[in-house]
Amino acid sequence: MKSFYKNITFLSLIFIALSLTQCNDVTKSCCEEILDFSYTNNDSLIEFNISEAQKCAKKYHKRPEFLQKISQIYYFDATNDYTSEQLISASKKLFLALDYINSYFSKIDIVKSYDYQYRGDIYERLGDIYKDINSLKSSAELYDKALSDYEAANDEEKILNILLKIGKLYQYNHIPNIAMIYFEMAEEQENIPNNIYRKIIDNKIITLYELNDYKSADSIFKNHFNIKNQDYDFHSAIGTKYFYERNYSMALPHLKYCFENGNMQEKLVFSEKLAETYFNLNDQKNEMLYIQYQAKNNSIEIRKTPIKLDLEKLYDTSYTIINYNYDKSDNKNNSLIIIILLTIILSIITIVVLYVIKSNKQYKEKIRNAEETISGNNDIIQSKDKIINDISQKLVSLETNESFDEAYQRFCDSAIHNKIKSSFEGINILTKNVQSYNKLALSTTEIQLLIKTFNKCFPKAISSIKKEFEITPSDIKFIILNFMNLNNVEIAVLLGLTYGAVNKRSNKIKNIFNTKDDLNIFLIDYIKSNF
């Protein structure tokens, strides 16, 4: 029966392929067949004639759905090339897929979650290719683009997986401080499946050992792993633990298990550890086996060198496609029109409201009564907030005897603090060049991690500021970045804003605090006094 269905499927594909090749006149039926294509549906895995698809796209370019489908056809074709290890061909088609979907974005009014998710898939697959040729910078940038699109799509599963993938990318390249940022961001996500959570914890333990933070690594290991559940993550964590403790005889069986059951990247990592383990155990024969394994894989890398150079050149030439910004570049005129219309509407509403208020005393009285009611409710709310804050502060005081200097040092040593500070090393950004450094902008997840890290180190700070001053939720990130002694140019880069907007916000915050001092000095003194 299986053979029968295979034959039917095969004949159907041949028929479709032949019909497409005969579609030289760009017939309506051909184009309709393209519109039926779906890269997520296995039933539509059809060998499309790309040239015919392009003809349809040109003829029906005013219909955005054609651009979307052409992009998907290129993506599907690139996936096949990637599976066959035709990396250059796959990359070229993926960049074309990206270009078509960006054109699709520019022609529609509302970008749906699915569209962001699909574009994220393109970025991720490109990131996989550049990871395969060990191009850290390019793969990291592409993965970050994928992360931004998955966040826009609110796809929890893909956000989680890409954070883990980026963390491993930095981990395998021996950059543990950056790897830890992404593992921590992954850990902060909601609805994490147990198997993925264990992988996050496993990688955190490995990274902490690489950072020489044995105490934290041991603590996490004791809380999350036990002898009864000896899966891959258990062997990876405990093998790494014994390895860094130089207990090589205990590490050996666990490292071998990980090497034998891991993927290509994991095999390379654990072969390195196994070679060092056998060296310390004076077992030259087995040491040589794993050295040879590494040499073989290095030779594969060497053979890829010409491909790597071609792909890196392709990446550079595709810069504008990679960094396409739908909101800023394609809707300036529309945004301006909307702003003008809203201004006119608001002006009319304001005039009408003022007239009604002026002519209606009864209405004024109702407003006065309403304000009194609101004021009374606000008093109740503030009273409850005070009770909650007092309780929170008491709990905090019970939890720690840490000094301000110790907390400040802990904040400065955090992964997210180090990432932000290190991103500006050796860079001199001028006010007029702020927009040129959009690659350094923080993602929503990174901003959330920064706020959470700050609150962990200074649990009373934000509540004290809110209690004494009228600040908005959006002011908090500005306050924390100023606390880090970053200037307005750097803050503008990190938040993807203009220098003028940040300067205006900083002046607003200074006015709220009623200080003429530098914001950094004021905030340090204030938080220290309320610690």
pLDDT tens-digit profile of 132-178? 888 888 899 999 999 989 998 989 999 999 999 999 998 888 888 88
In a domain, 237, yes or no: no
Residues 6+ apart with CB under 8 A from 95: 126, 314, 318, 321
377/481 same-domain check: no
Specify the length of the chain in residues.
531
Instruction: Tell me the pLDDT tens digit for each residue of 402-435.
Output: 788 888 888 888 888 888 888 888 777 776 666 6
484/497 same-domain check: yes
pLDDT at 283 over 80: yes
What's the rounded mean pLDDT across residues 382-388? 46
In a domain, 471, yes or no: yes
Q: Distance between CA 505 and CA 499 in Å, rounded?
A: 10
Last residue of a domain, one of 344, 373, 395: 395
523/412 same-domain check: yes
336/414 same-domain check: no
Last residue of a domain, one of 380, 395, 410: 395
What's the rounded mean pLDDT across residues 45-52? 55
Q: pTM for the whole thing?
A: 0.60
pLDDT at 34 over 60: yes
Neighbours of 430 (CB within 10 A): 9
In SS3 terms, 310-359 reads as HHHHHHHHCHHHHCCCHHHHCCHHHHHHHHHHHHHHHHHHHHHHHHHHHH
Q: Distance between CA 531 and CA 526 in Å, rounded?
A: 9
385/405 same-domain check: no
More confident residue, 377 or 288: 288
Average pLDDT, the chain: 77
Quote the pLDDT of residue 387: 41
506/410 same-domain check: yes
382/504 same-domain check: no
Quote the pLDDT of residue 28: 53
More confident residue, 211 or 387: 211
Q: Based on the structure, what is the number of domains in the chain?
A: 2
In a domain, 116, yes or no: no
In a domain, 458, yes or no: yes
What are the DSSP calls for 167-198, one per residue? Answer: HHHHHHTT-HHHHHHHHHHHHTSSS--HHHHH
Q: Which tokens is 477 given?
A: 């990130």
335/406 same-domain check: no
453/508 same-domain check: yes
pLDDT-based confidence at residue 14 (cuts at 50, 70, 90)? very low
434/507 same-domain check: yes
Q: Distance between CA 286 and CA 230 in Å, rounded?
A: 25
pLDDT at 354 over 70: no
In a domain, 483, yes or no: yes
Last residue of a domain, one of 395, 410, 441: 395
What's the rounded mean pLDDT across residues 44-54? 56
More confident residue, 464 or 250: 250
In a domain, 464, yes or no: yes
Domain span holding position 377:
331-395
Residue 520 near residue 482, CB atoms below 8 Å: yes
* Percent over 70 (pLDDT), the chain: 71
377/443 same-domain check: no
505/452 same-domain check: yes
